[in-house]
Amino acid sequence: MKRKNPFRFLDLPAELRCKVYESIDFSSTWHTLERCCTRMDNYTWPVPPRAAVYDSHIVFIRPYVHIDILLTCKLVHQEAREILQTRAKQCQKAPLRYLGDFSGASALTAQHGVLRGCIGLSRFPVGQLQKTTHDFLRLCRSYIKGLRRVSDGLCTIEITITHKPGATYAREVFVMAMRMQNGYLHKLHHVDSPLRLVFVHRSPLPRVQYGDIQAWVPEGLERYGWDDILQEGDREGPGTFVRVLGKKEFQKHVDGLEWY
């Protein structure tokens, strides 16, 4: 079998090599906090529906900056360093991202929950927490601190809320609908700098069964209080906003969380 000659990257013109450096995608690193590992009660982190009880988690997503190519040789290091540094700075200014179901999102935004520190809404002492929760919270708070340094004080946080097809949820959907209303979370004390909080979810909302309310129609629930909720593009600056996506758009958005 005839051997193929190796591709000689350095034989390309410098302009083409720079195009290659510019096309390098930055992947993301996912840190997951499972509900079963936190020992939190039902009030702080609501128990999800039976059909999704093992899926309740919160994922903290941050960019992973690739520097391996800089170790190739001195010439590549000189050419690629400035390009990758510029890309890395752009990633640092990107919104802080979370992914979770309605129960997890409820835990992140609970008024007296320890996980509020993950979105910059409290200064709870992390030393009194269970180790898994402590480590997750410390990592998130550290990233928020760095994000504030490079984003002129305004911290943007994006929470993508998923739900399992066919599952019937309970009070956590009502809770999140209320918290999405503009101003609710900002009545709480946010720490150090203004906060722009964006909830991303798929339409329609899941079915809900809570007390005497039997299986609310999702479309009706979305209309409830929707005039009080600002869409993401309504204005700049701090506030609470939503981005409502259709099924295909939402899946594309979730797939895109793999990259920055």
User: How far from chain centre, in Å, is Cα 199?
Assistant: 9
* Mean pLDDT (whole number) for 12-40: 89
Point out which residues pair with 60 in neighbouring strands: 31, 98
Please name the residue that has the structure tokens 């409820």.
106
CB 260 within 8 A of CB 28: yes
Residue 188: per-residue pLDDT: 45
The helix/strand count (H/E) of the chain reads as: 7, 10
**What's the confidence (pLDDT) of residue 193?**
65
Give me the pLDDT at residue 34, please: 92
pTM score: 0.83
Interatomic CA distance for residues 110 and 41, integer angstroms: 12
Mean pLDDT, the chain, integer: 79
Span 123-129, mean pLDDT?
61
**Which residue in the block uniquely carries the two structure tokens 């034989």?**
11
Asked whether residue 177 carries a pLDDT value surpassing 80, the answer given is: no
Dump the DSSP string for 236-247: SSSEEEEEEE-H
Alpha helices in the chain (DSSP H): 14-22, 74-92, 102-109, 131-150, 171-180, 218-223, 247-256
* Section 99-108 average pLDDT: 90
Residues 36-51: pLDDT tens digits? 888 888 888 888 777 6
- The pLDDT value recorded for residue 160 is 95
pLDDT exceeding 70 applies to what percent of the chain? 77
- pLDDT of residue 194 exceeding 70, the answer is yes
pLDDT reported for residue 189: 45
pLDDT category at 169 given cuts 50, 70, 90 is confident
Cβ atoms within 10 A of the Cβ of 126, count? 15
In DSSP terms, 94 is beta-bridged to none
Give me the pLDDT at residue 98, please: 96
Inform me whether the pLDDT recorded for 216 exceeds 80.
no
155 close to 147: Cβ distance less than 8 angstroms = yes
Q: Counting every residue, how long is the chain?
A: 260
Residue 78 to residue 71: CA distance in whole angstroms: 10
What's the rounded Cα separation, in Å, for the pair 244 and 247? 10
* Model pLDDT for residues 46-76, shown as the tens digit of each residue: 887 776 666 789 999 988 877 788 888 999 9
Per-residue pLDDT tens over the stretch 128-162: 778 889 899 989 988 888 877 777 667 889 999 99
166 neighbors 51 (Cβ within 8 angstroms)? yes
In this prediction, residue 248 has a pLDDT band, given cuts at 50, 70 and 90, of: very high
For 211: left if phi > 0, alpha if psi spans -120 to 50, otherwise beta; the answer is left
- pLDDT recorded at residue 250: 94
**Where along the chain do its domains lie?**
33-62+96-256
